[in-house]
Amino acid sequence: MTFGPNTTERIARARADLRMGVPVVLQGGYVILAVETLDQDRLAAVRSLGDLALAITARRAATLKIAAYDGDLARVPLPADADVRWVRAIADPADDLTMPMKGPLYGLREGDALPHRAGIALAKSARLLPSVLVAPVADASSFAVENGLTIVPEYAALTTELSPIDPVIFARVPIEASEAGRLHIFRPEDGGEEHYAVEIGNPSRDEPVLARLHSACFTGDVLGSLKCDCGPQLRAALGQMGANGAGVLLYLNQEGRGIGLANKMRAYSLQDQGFDTVEANHRLGFEDDERDFRIGAEILRKMGFRSVRLLTNNPNKVARMQDHGIAVTERVPLKVGENRHNHHYLATKASKSGHLL
């Protein structure tokens, strides 16, 4: 019998620690700090450990014209005089245009990128800027114990296994689109965000269900933002399910295509500087789409659905559902909500991300 946290639970703690600016220790002998939450005291403390490397994704490195010798990331040695502002400016593109000269910068070729990769994966899962400082530490276990820090095996952050997701509760919620609405709550066992399913009527489990996988968009869904088409898509999908008498809408908490609301607002700020939705993600160091569609497939399966008529304009969603064992018998287009503010956004999704207009 053991009271202590297992690896998954340690990773959940590590995410919370990084969000607060608390360092995390990797078993292999490294200390990790998230750049977004770095402060002067912790930078000074971590400097005393030895040579520091700043890890950024290959996407961010491309913007800064740094060679990414590790493929998906680059390790930049930290100059002796670099302060928090300097470190932050490498990770955060906010001031790229006003203070473009950050160099000369180069990426390390020698050494192991595994801890850096694990650190970036942790920062992404904490919905922070995807950049970390990495310092070596001689005895990881005693260093963690002495300083009260969370320790995780470095391969663990890279695990590609999907966490089990459990149904928590459901209850009747009559909504505008249908009085026969029910809201189901699903909770991942790895401490990740909860996701919701709105079930309309009593859809048969033996035939394809009218379904939508809707990724959270606080600005569009709640505020009625005109920068995207999410709000109208959400309401139109529920409306169609109501008219049809049955359907299921998954509301997946993958805000900003999986980068989180703070990073999405960073992306919006870059869009105000003239970059499109894809370029903005890349400048921040993210891929265009960081969502994990296995979550949606798994929730559908848990609810007993095997095949869907999918409401979407995104062929990639159709492909990912099929990859993850949900048959898509039909793609049902969902073209609503175009306006003069989102025209360019929708055109970019069509030309760069394969969305069907």
Ligand X SMILES: Nc1nc2c(ncn2[C@@H]2O[C@H](COP(=O)(O)OP(=O)(O)OP(=O)(O)O)[C@@H](O)[C@H]2O)c(=O)[nH]1
Active site annotation includes 291: yes
Per-residue DSSP letters for 200-258? ES---SSSPEEEEEEE--IIIIIT--SSSSHHHHHHHHHHHHHHHT-EEEEEE--HHHH
Q: Taking contact as CB under 5 A, which single stretch among the options 3-11, 191-199, 204-212, 218-226 is the one that binds Zn ion?
A: 218-226
* Bind-site residues for GTP: 212-216, 233, 255-257, 277, 312, 317
Is 206 an active-site residue? no
Pairing between β-strand 181-188 and β-strand 195-200 as defined by DSSP bridges:
antiparallel
Which residues sit in the known binding site? 212-217, 228, 230, 233, 255-257, 277, 312, 317
Contact 87, 54 (CB under 8 A): yes
Q: Closest separation between CB of residue 217 and ligand X, Å?
A: 3
Binding residues among 246-275 for ligand X as defined by CB under 6 A: 254-257, 259, 264, 267
Query: Site for ligand X (CB under 6 A): how many residues?
Result: 21
Could you tell me the strand order of the sheet in which 150-152 lies?
73-77, 53-57, 131-136, 30-34, 24-26, 150-152
Tell me which of 12, 177, 198, 217 binds Zn ion, using CB under 5 A: 217
Least distance in angstroms from the C-beta of 252 to Zn ion: 13
- Which one of the spans 29-37, 143-151, 195-203, 213-221 is the region binding ligand X (CB under 6 A)? 213-221
If one asks whether residue 232 binds Zn ion (CB under 5 A), the answer comes out as no
Question: Side chain identity at 80, as an amino acid letter?
Answer: A
Query: What span, in angstroms and rounded, lies between the C-alpha atoms of 217 and 235?
Result: 13
Q: How many CB atoms lie within 10 A of CB 284?
A: 25
Q: Where in the sequence numbering do the catalytic residues fall?
A: 289, 291
Query: What residues make contact with ligand X under the rule CB under 6 A?
Result: 214-217, 228, 230, 233, 254-257, 259, 264, 267, 277, 281, 312-314, 317, 355
